[in-house]
Structures are given as C-alpha cells and as structure tokens.
Amino acid sequence: MQVEGVDSPDCRCEEGRENIDHVLLHCPRYANLKKETLWGDDLRVSDLSQLLGDPTRVAMTTRFLSQTRRLPQFKAYAIRKGTIA
C-alpha cells in the first residue's frame, strides 16, 4: 500500500523499512526518546507485544509516537496532553 506523500518505504535512518516494528524497536533515530518514554534506564523492550499488550505501555507508546511527529494522527492526542504546541 502506498501512503500519500511518501516516496519510499525506507526509513530515513537507512537501516530498514519505516514500519511500526522498526520505529518502535529498532530505529536509531529515536533511541534517546525511546529510552525516555518507553524503556527507562533498565528496561529494553524486545517485541511489540510488550508495548501494545499493556494499557500503561500503550499510553507510553502513543506519547512516544506523538513526540516523533511521524504519525500526524497523534497530533490531537499530543495537543490534549500538552506535549506539543
């Protein structure tokens, strides 16, 4: 499926395709933000079920995605939570 306005399925980090698995678990572009919002100091998430199988982690994942600004549909959530202008 082609996403309007997206020329390539590859991530800007040039280390994989930009999909949810890559962005949440592997993309080095967001390593610091992931540590701050998803993993903390001693937790390393290794699969999507750890992020999406727990309501608290779903909220953390949503906050992370809104802060990456990769998914515009999360902007309304971020504005309500006061995380972006």
- Listed by start position, the domains of the chain span 20-81
Calpha distance 16→72 (Å, rounded): 21
Q: Which has the closest alpha carbon to 64: 83, 42, 85, 41?
A: 83
Coil, strand or helix at 83: coil
Asked if residue 82 has pLDDT above 60, the reply is: no
Q: How confident is the model at residue 60 (pLDDT cuts 50, 70, 90)?
A: confident
- 60 contacts: CB under 8 Å, gap ≥ 6: 37, 38, 51
Q: What are the pLDDT digits (tens) for 14-50?
A: 898 888 888 888 889 988 888 888 776 556 677 888 8
pLDDT at residue 85, rounded to an integer: 44
Q: What is the pTM for the complete model shown?
A: 0.66
Written as one letter, the residue type at 68 is: T
Calpha distance 73→39 (Å, rounded): 23
